[in-house]
Copies of this chain bind each other. A is one copy, B any other.
Amino acid sequence: MAEIIIDRKQQIQLVAQNLFRTKGYGASSMRDIAKEVGIEAASLYNHFSSKEDLLKEICFGMANHFFTSIEPIEKKKFSAKQKLEKMIECHVAVIVSNIDASSVFFHEWKHLKEPFLGEFKSLRNKYEKKFIQIINEGFEQKLFRKVDVKIVSFTIFSALNATYDLYKPNGKLSAKDISKNISDIIINGLKPTN
């Protein structure tokens, strides 16, 4: 049984992620976080400059994960369909290996203040555009039936971004099961093939 050593800063962030997810940012106090870690609230400020700083680290850390995970795929010479499937797979993989942080990324970012709020939104937008571009390529190459691209990307993200609620670490469904099924539903629909 290998002991996993993590430093205090990381430990605090993990606790904060979990509390922000389960209770929400506003309802999680610095004292709550400190108690869970086993130190005093004031000691948190030796590691993070403010409560918002904690939120910032979580949100931008996740943004970074999402971007780097799809980077290799963008460079490859896949078809739009293959690319979309792979990107969906990566996206879900990032989510399920960061369940708490993902939930915070999706729901608590709005408590960021400027300038981070604007910066965050623009990052999010940039990421979504990468998916929209691939879907548009799929239309051009006649790989996809023509439907409203905004609604398609929206449907995909809505489904993907809720997977942190569907995936249970010791459940039946693996990350690959989930991403495979969602890709499949979006691309093939529910209609029988005959």
Contact = CB atoms under 8 A, between A and B. Distances in A.
A53 interface: no
A192 B143 contact: yes
> Among A22, A147, A193, which residue has the most Cβ atoms of chain B within 10 A?
A147
Given A26-B26, A186-B189, 6 more contacts: A24-B111, A144-B190, A145-B188, A151-B173, A151-B185, A159-B159
Tell me the number of copies of this protein: 2
Contact of A148 (B111, B143, B181): B181
Interface string A128-146: 0000000000100011110
Contacts of A26: 24-27
A159 B152 contact: no
A159 B144 CA distance: 19
Interface string A154-194: 11011101100010000001000110011011111111110
Contact of A192 (B111, B144, B190): B144
A155 B147 contact: no
Contacts of A31: none
Contacts of A185: 147, 151-152, 155, 186, 189
Lowest 3 CB-CB distances: which A-B pairs, in order?
A189-B189, A26-B26, A158-B162
A193 B27 CA distance: 50
Contacts of A187: 189-191
Nearest to A192: B145
A126 interface: no
